[in-house]
Structure 1
Amino acid sequence: MRRIILSTESGADLPRDLAETYDVQVVPMHIIMDGEDYLDGELPVQDIYDYYERTKKIPSTTSTNAHEYEEFFTNIREKFPDCIIVHIGYTSKASSSFQNAVIAAEEFEDMYLIDALNVTGGLAAIVLYAANVLEEEPDIEPEQLVEKIEAVVPKSRLSFIPGSLEFLKAGGRVSNMASLIGTLLKIKPCIELKDGKLMSTKKYRGKMSGATEKLFHDYLKEFNIDRKQLYFIYSIGLDEKIKQRMEEVAKENGFENVRWIQAGGMISTHSGPGGFGVAGLEQ
């Protein structure tokens, strides 16, 4: 039986230990600061925040290009000869990365590409679902695995609160006036994935500690999330007391396992420090 290897982008924020455990191959996306190109996953996130403090500018981000994908897929085949590759990609509605993977895949056989229509923890949830299926059914046919993954894609639900309106303003995502009003009223926008697109939905007023609980309450009210596994996402700077409280709330709501995922460079560039999110799969 030929081995199936999973791959994804750095924008999944897949924890390194889990990537190593399941042999998930991760290709880096890009962060640009002062004209210098840095690989996401290798650039410390704190450097992004320090750059903003110095310049009041946020870095730009770019997708993995087709040539990089060709090298990436070639390296996988060299590392795992005669393998079948199942690539689970960052939403095509927010990046050209998936389309570039499609272009590169034309040069390869025995490869399947799935648009996860999700990012960060929402994408990681799908990748880890696929990894668990492979672990439980090592002899599964690739077509069956792909079918299962595609079925779970619309069930992956992600909601998050950016940590900084200043980052949104610096990136041109809200007007100066909207940012000022938001700061004065302590309004925190909720960002959700809708059909693969990042959309601002609800707004929460008050401190981050209260906003995170409100977000989680609304999330559970809207989605029937599988209680076996939950993912919390955070960007550097989130108060440890908030993290402790959210773990308590998750347990109070019957979640068996909670895994924290640190937002990498791609997401942190847009959300700023101190952000919080939640991801899981609907039953």
Structure 2
Amino acid sequence: MNIKLICDSMCDIPEEIEKKEYLEIIPLTLIVDGKEFVDNEDMTKDEFYKFMLEAKDIPKTSQATYVQFKEAFDSALADGKDVICITGASNKSGTYQSAMLAKNDTEGRIEIIDSENLSIGSGQLVIRACDFIEEGLSTDEVVSKIKEVRESSFILFTPASFDFLKKSGRVPLTTAIIGNMLNIRPIFSMHSGEIQLEAKVRGAKKAFSKLVDTLISKYPEELSELTITIGEAGNREDFIKLKEEVEAKLKDKVKRIMFFKGGACICAHTGPDIVAIGFSK
């Protein structure tokens, strides 16, 4: 295997993918109440969820740096590897630009791919890249197929309440109060770097059903080709209910279903009460 796969920690992936020996994850830095933490190194994901709920300020993320990517690229090339690097959306973070700067200062085969997505949307590209590498495809073939996957990669997600969206200023105070009073759950999607409101429903059960139905509506004739990831953060009960809904409607109808815990980078912006579905062909 002559390919080194690199991604940043904005790409949320299942634990079994994180453990691939040819994969390296470049961590972003988290800033909470003036303190800096290396993502997924200085504290676990569960510790971050708890820490974030107790923090006075909204957590911030700092992009992965030129130096981090340069060191990773130099190490891989010294081992005789081609490098394929997948980053979170370039219109949401400067991490892609850091990787490009490092590439431009490095001699060797390095391919940088802007996932145009975040969290499990970016993670879909990493998962499928692992598939292609393990199939023995060439660097050119892997890069080409990852770009095809990017076109079909979606995220659908819903927070349990408007509390964190209110705190972060992403929705007005009155909207948050009314939304919480009426038990309204917003359904958001992200594709090609753009976040859109798909629907508003009342109650968790309807929200989880709507998430799955929206997924099905995107690729009704191609379900058997889909790789699906289901994510949780600090809300195990919601995750279990969403998992049940997914299995009831999609078990044996899709290529595979995988599970993950949401990374700190995405939860710093959405709150730790989120559940999400990512999928791609």
TM superposition score normalised by structure 2 = 0.89
User: 1:13, 1:264 within 8 Å by CA — same for their partners in 2?
Assistant: yes
Pairing of 1:123-142 with structure 2 (within 5 A): 123-136=122-135, 138=136, 140-142=137-139
- Partner of 1:48 in structure 2? 48
1:159 Cα offset (Å): 0.9
Query: Is the contact made by 2:230 and 2:243 (CA closer than 8 Å) also made in structure 1?
Result: no
Q: CA 1:106–1:46 in 2, change beyond 3 Å: closer, same or farther?
A: same
Deviation at 1:49, TM superposition (A): 3.6
Matched, 1:65 2:77: no
Change (3 A) 1:150 1:248: closer
Q: For 2:87, give the aligned amino acid.
A: G
Distance in 2 of aligned mates of 1:22 and 1:278 = 26
Correspondence for 1:214: 210
Poorly superposed stretches of 4+, deviation over 4 Å: none
Instruction: Please list every run of 5 or more consecutive structure 2 residues that lacks an aligned counterpart in the other structure.
Output: none
Asked if structure 2 preserves the Cα contact closer than 8 Å seen for 1:90 and 1:123, the reply is yes
Q: 1:195: which partner in 2?
A: 192
| 3-state SS in 2 of match to 1:88 | strand
- C-alpha offsets along residues 193-231 of structure 1, whole Å, 9 cap, x if unaligned? 13212333322222x232111111122112345435321
Give the superposition deviation at 1:54. Answer: 3.2
Which residue number corresponds to residue 105 of structure 1?
103
Shift of 1:263: 0.2
Matched position secondary structure for 2:236: coil
The separation in 2 between residues aligned to 1:107 and 1:151, in whole angstroms, is 28
Q: Pick from 87, 90, 93: which aligns with 2:91?
A: 93
Alpha-carbon distance in 2 for matches of 1:3, 1:252: 35
How far did 1:107 drift? 1.5
Q: Compared with structure 1, are the counterparts of its residues 60 and 71 closer, same or farther at alpha carbon in structure 2 (3 Å cutoff)?
A: same
Kept in 1, the 8 Å contact 2:13–2:260? The answer is: yes
Given that residues 45 and 268 in structure 1 are in contact (C-alpha distance below 8 angstroms), is that contact kept between their aligned partners in structure 2? no
Distance 1:87 1:252 in 2: 32
In structure 1, the gaps of 5 or more residues are none
Aligned residue for 1:11, secondary structure, equals coil
Deviates more, 1:219-228 or 1:117-126: 219-228
Question: Aligned residue pairs: how many?
Answer: 276
In structure 1, what residue type is equivalent to 2:50? D
Instruction: Give the match for residue 258 of structure 2.
Output: 259
CA distance in structure 1 between the aligned counterparts of 2:252 and 2:180, rounded to whole angstroms: 31
Question: Which sits farther off after the overlay, 55-64 or 148-157?
Answer: 55-64
Matched residues in 2 for 1:145 and 1:116: separation?
Answer: 14
Counterpart in the other structure of 2:149: 152
Q: How does 1:160-239 map to 2 (within 5 A)?
A: 160-206=157-203, 208-224=204-220, 225-227=222-224, 229-239=227-237
Distance 1:104 1:255 in 2: 38
Matched ranges for 1:235-250 at <5 A: 235-239=233-237, 241-250=240-249
Q: CA separation in 2, counterparts of 1:53 and 1:170?
A: 11
1:5 partner amino acid: K
CA separation in 1, counterparts of 2:270 and 2:210? 19
Which amino acid in the other structure matches residue 149 of structure 1?
I
Specify whether residues 212 and 85 from structure 1 end up closer, same or farther in structure 2 by C-alpha distance, changes over 3 A only: same
Paired residues for 1:16-27 under 5 Å: 16-21=15-20, 23-27=22-26
Q: Deviations over 1:68-103 (max 9, x none)?
A: 22123233345xx01000011111121111111111
Q: Is the 8 A contact 1:6 1:85 kept in 2?
A: yes
2:201 aligned partner, one-letter code:
Y
Counterparts of 1:191 and 1:267 in 2: how far apart (Å)?
A: 14
Distance in 1, matches of 2:52 and 2:40, equals: 18
How far apart are the structure 2 equivalents of 1:134 and 1:47? 33
Q: Residues 111 and 35 of structure 1: is their aligned pair in 2 closer, same or farther, counting only changes over 3 Å?
A: same
Give the SS at the match of 2:19: helix
- Note the aligned Cα RMSD (angstroms): 2.1
Q: TM-score, normalised by structure 1?
A: 0.89
Which letter maps to 1:236?
Answer: G
Separation in structure 2 between the aligned mates of residue 34 and residue 14 of structure 1, nearest angstrom: 27
Cα separation, 1, equivalents of 2:144 and 2:53: 46
